[in-house]
Amino acid sequence: MFRPVLLICLGICCGCQAMVSPEGALTPDLIDQIQQDFDMDTHARAMQNALTSTSIKTLSENRQVLTGHNTTFSHKVNTTGISNQKQSGRCWMFAGFNTLRPVIMDRLDLDGFEFSHIYLQFWDKFEKSNTFLEYMIEYRDQDPLDREMTFLMETPCPDGGYWENFVDLVQKYGVVPEEVMAETASSEGTALMNTNLDRLLRKHAVALRDIYQSTGSLEKMRAAKTEALAEIYKVLVLHLGQPPREFVWRHPVKAEDDDEAEEEKGDDQEKKDKKDVAVPLSEPKTYTPKSFYDECIGVDLNEYVNLADDPIAPKGSHIAIQFTKNFYDGQSAHYANVDRDTLKQIAMAMIKDDHAVYFAADVSPNQDKDRGIMEANLYDFDTVYGLDLNIDKQQRLLLRDSTVNHGMAFIGVDLIDDKPVKWLVENSWGTERGDGGLWTMYDNWFEEYVFNIIVPKQYLPAEVQRIFEKPAEVKPVWYPMW
């Protein structure tokens, strides 16, 4: 008779014990204390009224910054045209082409030029697919729940990439003009194409692992991989079209006296002439994508290196990042870690020499997409909340508050007493965003949110060159810089 009563008592006791909150839990007493201590002062009331009816970005705009804003630059690179990556993650590829556009314009004396981004996109997707499948063979014994496998399976064929991937693509596949392979709906909006490619690649990953478990044969795994790549190629052709093996191209040609004649004409007459007179063209010529690059651009991309302001690692270190190669036999993203003043000095020197500069940054904070402004104090959220929200660059990166998420190109700088006041940025978001597709980046934004630039070796000081002579320390793919 006593046993049931004892069990009931034990059950009640266990229930009571379960209701005791562990230390650190958000208890009713703590909530009550915070509510009682909260002071709805005049500032809080005013901000609540404002925030419930107005965008916080509008409310927090720093009028002093906006009033002092101007678009005057002491040095500009000779280039024209704004590209648009649309709903795709190809900024790294667009930024790479934006640094090469001034080269071909100067070499062929063109008023404008655009590369075909979809052409490299096709081969980038195909190379990434091969790399993923090779990793599935390489990691055939690894638990799918391990961190490396989790990363690989999460996005087998993403849009993103790095300068080193751009170099690998151009050197292996060459480039073509925009009109040779035009954009498609899938190249400009990649979400569903990527979803289906990822699903197909994961399916083949399962098949490869099954083959290994049942046969242990690498030869059979590679034979299956070849069949998988044929399916990937088909999907890419259906979405993006067949990449050209060769093509015929010609370009506008200026007579030697054209420039002098244009200067003497008024704007109305110039417009009439352009409308009524056929533009002379070069003789048609057949190119392969690689011969087109060699003959019309010719820049040795092996002479370019990656310099970064990595606030986590020691300055002077040479760092590579795991899983950042798009080619299985390609190069990983790797950089020399230098101070931000070195980045600025080299970028300034390149712009003075009429070279566009590829760079990568955290593009999310303190930038106005409508006006085309990047300024570290553009929004004063601290005053709105009455709180200090500042975190330094190192801690923002370590704690994932900041990330290197967008590639662009510097095409100008405004110097006063040989010190940068602001930078002219060519973006790849079309002409409807920013100031006709351009952004004015103030130097304080550079210091906080620019993380790396790509530069020719000839601009490197001797001590920076020596950094690349060291073996690179390989960081895991979850390292915050990338």
Structure tokens at 102: 């001034």
- Active site annotation includes 117: no
Q: Using DSSP, state whether 444 is helix, strand or coil.
A: helix
399's tokens: 């704690």
Q: Which of 306, 326, 427, 452 is catalytic?
A: 427
| Cβ-contact 413, 98 below 8 angstroms | no
Give the DSSP H or E segment for 118.
helix 117-138
14 is catalytic: no
SS3 374: strand
Angle, vertex CA 37, rays to CA 31 and CA 40, nearest 5: 110
Question: Measured between alpha carbons, how far is 238 from 333 in angstroms, rounded to an integer?
Answer: 30
Please, is 248 exposed, middle or buried when counting C-beta atoms within 10 Å of its C-beta (0-12, 13-18, 19+)? exposed
| Burial of residue 112, with CB atoms counted within 10 A of its CB: 0-12 exposed, 13-18 middle, 19 or more buried | exposed
Number of C-beta neighbours around residue 187 at 10 A: 25
Nearest to 455 by CA among 99, 162, 82: 99
Q: d(Cα 97, Cα 105) in Å, to the nearest integer?
A: 12
Residue 197 one-letter amino acid: L
Tokens standing for 333? 């993203």
Asked about 91 being catalytic, the answer comes back as yes
**One-letter amino acid of 218:** L
Select which of 91, 98, 194, 366 is catalytic: 91
- What's the sign of the alpha-carbon dihedral 165, 170, 171, 173? positive
Q: Which of 117, 204, 239, 406 is catalytic?
A: 406
CA distances from 7 to 1, 13, 353 (A): 11, 10, 86
Residue 399: CB partners within 8 Å, gap ≥ 6? 391
Beta partners for residue 450, in sequence order: 361
Catalytic residue annotation: 91, 406, 427
